[in-house]
Structure 1
Amino acid sequence: MRLVSTLFGPQARRRWVHLILGGALLMPYWLLSSVLVGVLGGGGRLFTGSLAVQFGAYALALPIAAASGYTPLTRSLCVSAARPLLGVPAERFAEGPARTRPARLRASAWFTLHLALGGLISGASLALPPLAAVLIVLPPLSRLTGERYETYEVLTGTGPWPALLGPVAGLAVLVGLAAASAGAGALLARQAPPLLGPTPADRLAAAERRAADLAVRNRLARELHDSVGHALSAVTLQASAARRVLDSDPEFVREALTAIEETTRRTVGELDAVLGLLRQDEDAHGTEELPGPALDLLDDLLARSGVPVAYEAVGDPAGVPAAVSREAYRIVQEGLSNALRHNGSSPVSLWITVHSEELEIRMENPLSGRAPVVRPGGGRGLRGIAERATLLGGVAEAGAKDGLWRFTARLPLGGAR
């Protein structure tokens, strides 16, 4: 039963279709080669029934097919045909055109092998079934009609034994054709991964694409975490403070509601800008800069942060490269969010110093001793700060010392490049 499935099962039939497709693709090359063989042979007739001429044209057609298969798109077309018909796992095929010389050579070798086997199986599929039908049908037909069939006698000879063995021979011809087709299909299936699979260069390019996609997702996650996380922390603190003095200090409540409104409006704008990148093509992710505020908007951030901040700048933050300026803004923002969650409205001291080759950010605030405000999904802020600093070639450190929470980040100004 397993042998029958191997020879005549669905997979065998799909592979036979794939081989027939190869035979069809071979036909233009074979016709061109037949013309060349006829001309070079000096014969008056270009197409003859001579097997020598036909196989000579077949042999000449294969190098022509190999030369035409040395194109980038050959691999894509071959993969499109082989993936649904050969029964090979889809992940073992390469994606896209063959862009390197080794990949094109492999695709050309596959194309030639496919056409070579496909031409043989196609020719056998055209010639052998009629022969098998003659061997199977004519003996019983001759007994019923009492007539002699010269074609059958030429094939089998005369006498009782050829007449009895003819049907067996016809079935054997069909089984042999099925076996040859199954064998050729299995050979193509074995050769598909090494010839149509990804080359080392393809694997490297795929790994680089995955790494780039992962970097983009991490960058977007950091932007969302820092922007939305800071806004939620500030809004929570402002709303909590306003609720406590709702009846006694209406002016403070009015200012808190104004700060909440402005914080949420600014955050929604930043959120739309980040989500806009997610709706773009993947190719744009790797080349387009992430939107976001920079150090020129730091005063507004400090004014609306929900915590009193003593800020001192040394040097000119406006002259910091744009990429470093954006990352520095996010680092300060996350530092303020961390202070809000851990110490409420305790005052924060912030120093930003622009050195000749790096930007230094220092922040400290007193430890309150109370449990921090826990936000679902939180706990990644300091890690995000460290990632931002590392991507620019800098360092970030944070920890408690002498009753203060101290945070320091150093960002090379050349990190923008």
Structure 2
Amino acid sequence: MRAVAPLFGRRARLRWLHLIIGGALLMPYFLVSTVLVGMASGGEQLLSSLPAQFVAFALALPMAAVTGFFALVRPLSVAAARALCGVPPALLADGPARTRQARVRAAGWYTLHLALGGIVSGITLALPPFAVTVAALPFFAGLRDTWLYGGPDALREPWALAFAPLAGLAMLVAMALVAAAAGELLARRAPALLGPTPEDRLAAAERRAADLAVRNRLARELHDSVGHALSAVTLQAGAARRVLDRDPEFVREALTAIEETTRRTVGELDSVLGLLRRDGEPDEGGEAAYGPGLDALDGLLAHCGVPVAYEREGDPGAPDNVDPAVSREAYRIVQEGLSNALRHGGGGPSPVRLLIAIRERELEIVVENPVGERPAVVRPGGGRGLRGIAERAVLLGGRTEAGPYDGGWRLTARLPLAAGRTTDGHAEEQR
């Protein structure tokens, strides 16, 4: 069975069918060309002239090539090649042919498919009856009298008739070989003619980069929002548990802070999940669904779980002073800085110092916190907060710095007042 699989196996049969479809698609062009050739030859009977049929076949191929330039020819050809030629789907392009190079390749494939399909279809229609008739000559005298009438006497010899069945079988095998070779040729040329062009690859890379950027941004939003909330809730709950019997008022305040933090975080989480349900595209209100801005900073500071000494220069919450996109990213940077203070500050009485200043061309954010003696909570896989802060700043054209400072820790971020405005500098990740 393995010996005949290349000729009569499932893949060979599907490719043969693909070629037959190509022959059927060629027929309209062939019929038009037969009319043109007949008119040029003065009305000569075309079907009785084999050379005229070859001329009509050759004339039909340029017509097919012109049709192949239509954009939708490529997706239809790709679908047929994937289903019938056995070509791996990853090697073929998706979508209509938009560029000139893609259209030329698709036209070349379409013409090759129809040319080979016309040849194989003609052989498939004409050769089997002839081969069967040749194979049956030794067994039917009347058939011999009809077919061999006027032919060489040598064909009537017993030894010649003995080879007739083998000759008929050889014709059928030769037909299968031609069909298999044509199918293999199409399968080998499919990646070159129907595969993605450099423009297709560039467009696909741009789509992947855009999707990755959206996923990374959503991941940062989830990390900063949910991570901060969990850190604050964990520390507030732990502190309340320790003084549950001694200081009910503190426990009440801690529970209130937990309630406010979780309520705010659920709202932010709903916004991010709404973007995920819309495949990461902003809604009609723009990008505001990504999260709050600096105008919501007072609520964050009131329930962040650590005392904060807040200083500001200018009014960073006003949209006329700071671009809304910058304001949202600045809010997340402050939120992550406070989360770091919760995890690493040690719970001492010293407040976290927060400075937000509007300079001439940039927004400056400084978060300073003492480092406690108790070890920080280590998360599996390590923290990604400072990496996310640096990414946010770089995407806006800003820069960040983070590291030890006077026995504590300082995080500094400088962002342009308007999104997209670049400033000199670089981002560092040290924690």
Q: Which amino acid aligns with 2:295?
A: D
Matched, 1:23 2:27: no
Question: What does the per-residue CA deviation read over 1:220-243, in whole Å, with 9 as the maximum and x for residues that have no partner?
Answer: 110000000000011111111211
The alpha-carbon deviation at position 147 of structure 1 amounts to 6.9
Q: Which residue of 357, 362, 373 corresponds with 2:361?
A: 357
CA change 1:155–1:406 in 2 (3 A) is farther
Secondary structure of 1:374 counterpart:
coil
Aligned residue in 2 for 1:333: 335
CA change 1:386–1:77 in 2 (3 A) is same
What is the TM-score normalised by the length of structure 1? Answer: 0.94
Aligned residue in 1 for 2:86: 87
CA change 1:368–1:40 in 2 (3 A) is same
Matched, 1:249 2:247: yes
The alpha-carbon deviation at position 268 of structure 1 amounts to 1.0
Aligned residue in 1 for 2:424: none
Superposed counterparts of 1:2-401, under 5 Å: 3-43=3-43, 48-142=47-141, 148-153=144-149, 157-281=155-279, 289=287, 291-317=290-316, 318=318, 319-346=321-348, 347-376=351-380, 379-401=383-405
Partners of 1:13 and 1:60 in 2: CA distance: 29
Secondary structure of 1:320 counterpart:
coil
Partners of 1:181 and 1:357 in 2: CA distance: 72
Task: Note the residue ranges of structure 2 that are not aligned, 5 or more in a row.
Answer: 422-431
The alpha-carbon deviation at position 276 of structure 1 amounts to 1.5
Partners of 2:312 and 2:282 in 1: CA distance: 36
Percent sequence identity is 67
Question: What does the per-residue CA deviation read over 1:153-198, in whole Å, with 9 as the maximum and x for residues that have no partner?
Answer: 5678432233122111111111110111111111111111110001
Q: Which amino acid aligns with 2:126?
A: A
Partners of 1:168 and 1:282 in 2: CA distance: 67
The alpha-carbon deviation at position 116 of structure 1 amounts to 0.3
The alpha-carbon deviation at position 379 of structure 1 amounts to 0.7
Q: Which amino acid aligns with 1:311?
A: Y
CA change 1:110–1:276 in 2 (3 A) is same
Say what the alpha-carbon RMSD is for the aligned residues. 2.1
CA change 1:96–1:361 in 2 (3 A) is same
**Native 8 Å contact 2:292 2:331 kept in 1:** yes
Number of equivalences: 412
Partners of 1:340 and 1:310 in 2: CA distance: 14
Give the structure with the larger helix fraction: 1
**Native 8 Å contact 2:275 2:281 kept in 1:** no
Secondary structure of 2:97 counterpart:
coil
Task: Note the residue ranges of structure 1 that are not aligned, 5 or more in a row.
Answer: none
Q: Which amino acid aligns with 1:28?
A: P
Mean CA deviation greater in 185-194 or 330-339: 185-194
